[in-house]
């Protein structure tokens, strides 16, 4: 049976078993100490006891800090994840101990964020929180349930199908032309994305050493889905690459993700275009390529989609064009 003693105006319960280290915890009332002692003894007898000391001692912010140091550097998109998780650390939610992260607190966080950002962003944030908690449970023996699993996720938004028109493309190109403090790399980045349908990360990671101008192929060593692939280069893409100045870094487009996104957003504002993201260039490029590569297997090999279901999210054929094909 647990032994109780009054120390510093708190009741300490201590459970000792032969061959095992003693377990103790302090409470404000004797009743809570007795209740905890009985629970621990039952769990020890059943062989299911796990210490909650670390979960009670560490805050969620502590766990995020360790995750950033030990796990995040090995993930794809580490720089973006680093920014997101450091922003999360500043939220009051992370001041709670791990055992105090209840489904109610996670749900309150969800509702607060939904009032500020879209459902897609909140879904990704909840997934990050869940991944961090699960990792701490598996690898660091933080004894707690995952409260995110008991929280209703927002309804996933429909996939974007924003396709840029020729007129919009022309306006964006005009606003991306180097002038004043505008980057000389933004216009080539936009045009190369339009010619190749590369993802933003693939485009920014592309190095001159990965391009075979003779065979007209760009080799992407590390893509979003974890597989390498070769991207065929059109005549227009080759001419574009010939015109791009060489950076000492060896990268074709020596920009950071944040710099590219910020510059593109400013350009679309100057062009008076609303709801345009850099990723929409990929949608536009894939839809254009589909006219030249009607075989979807060949098209998916170029774009890097592992399933035709995913490819359909990016390929948006015109109903009028389909009608003309039907005759």
Q: Which residue has the tokens 């060896």?
A: 250
Per domain, the residue ranges of the chain are 3-49, 57-150, 166-326
| Token pair 């766990």: residue | 63
Q: Among the options 135, 224, 288, 316, which is catalytic?
A: 224
Does the active-site annotation cover 109?
no
DSSP state of 99: G
pLDDT at residue 226, as a whole number: 67
User: What digits encode the pLDDT tens for the residues 241-262?
Assistant: 999 999 999 999 999 988 999 9
The answer to whether residue 50 scores a pLDDT higher than 70 is no
Which phi and psi angles does 99 have, rounded to 5°? -70, -20
Q: Which of the following is catalytic: 25, 89, 200, 282?
A: 282
Annotated catalytic, 116?
no
CATH of domain 166-326: 1.10.443.10
Six-digit token pair at 300? 């998916």
- Whether 57-150 and 166-326 share one fold: the answer is no
d(CA 33, CA 12): 6
Q: Looking at residue 294, what is its pLDDT?
A: 75
Based on the residue annotation, tell me whether 305 is a catalytic residue of this protein. yes
Average pLDDT over residues 113-128: 93
Q: Write down the mean pLDDT value for the chain.
A: 87
Looking at residue 12, its pLDDT comes to 87
User: Per the residue annotation, which of 279, 288, 313, 316 is the catalytic one?
Assistant: 279
**CA gap 143, 133 in Å, rounded:** 10
What distance in Å separates the CA atoms of residue 79 and residue 264, rounded to the nearest whole number?
Answer: 19
Q: Which fold has domain 57-150?
A: DNA polymerase; domain 1 (1.10.150)
Higher-confidence residue: 48 or 203?
A: 203
Q: Considering the entire predicted model, what is its pTM?
A: 0.65
Tell whether the torsion through CA atoms of 299, 301, 303 and 309 is positive or negative.
Answer: positive
Q: List the strands of the sheet with 10-15, edge to edge.
A: 3-7, 10-15, 23-27
Residue 81, pLDDT score: 85
Among this protein's residues, is 181 annotated catalytic?
A: no
**Cα distance between residue 68 and residue 11, in whole Å:** 37
- Rg, the chain, Cα only: 27
Give yes or no for residue 225 having a pLDDT over 70: no
SS3 26: strand
């Amino acid at each position: 049976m647990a032994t109780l003693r009054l120390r510093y105006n708190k009741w300490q319960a201590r459970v000792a078993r032969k061959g095992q280290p003693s377990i103790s915890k302090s409470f404000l009332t004797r009743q809570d100490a007795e209740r905890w002692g009985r629970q621990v003894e039952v769990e020890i007898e059943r062989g299911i006891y796990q210490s909650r000391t670390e979960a009670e001692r560490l805050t969620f912010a502590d766990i995020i800090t360790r995750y950033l140091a030990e796990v995040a550097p090995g993930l794809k998109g580490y720089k973006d994840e680093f920014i997101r998780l450091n922003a999360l650390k500043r939220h009051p939610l992370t001041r709670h101990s791990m055992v105090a992260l209840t489904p109610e607190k996670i749900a309150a966080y969800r509702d607060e964020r939904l009032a500020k950002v879209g459902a897609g962003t909140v879904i990704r944030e909840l997934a990050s929180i869940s991944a961090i908690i699960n990792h701490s449970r598996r690898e660091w023996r933080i004894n707690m349930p995952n409260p995110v699993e008991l929280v209703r996720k927002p309804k996933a938004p429909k996939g974007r199908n924003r396709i840029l028109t020729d007129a919009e493309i022309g306006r964006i190109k005009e606003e991306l032309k180097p002038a004043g403090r505008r980057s000389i790399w933004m216009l080539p980045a936009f045009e190369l994305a339009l010619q190749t349908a590369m993802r933003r990360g693939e485009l920014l990671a592309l190095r001159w050493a990965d391009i075979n101008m003779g065979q007209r192929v760009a080799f992407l060593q590390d893509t979003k889905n974890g597989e390498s692939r070769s991207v065929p280069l059109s005549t227009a893409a080759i001419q574009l690459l010939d015109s791009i100045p060489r950076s000492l870094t060896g990268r074709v487009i020596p920009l950071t993700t944040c710099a590219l996104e910020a510059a593109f957003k400013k350009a679309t504002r100057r062009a008076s275009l609303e709801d345009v993201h850099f990723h929409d260039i990929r949608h536009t490029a894939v839809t254009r390529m589909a006219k030249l590569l009607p075989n979807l297997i060949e098209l998916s090999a170029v774009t890097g989609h592992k399933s035709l279901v995913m490819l359909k999210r990016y390929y948006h054929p015109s109903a009028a064009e389909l009608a003309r094909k039907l005759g």
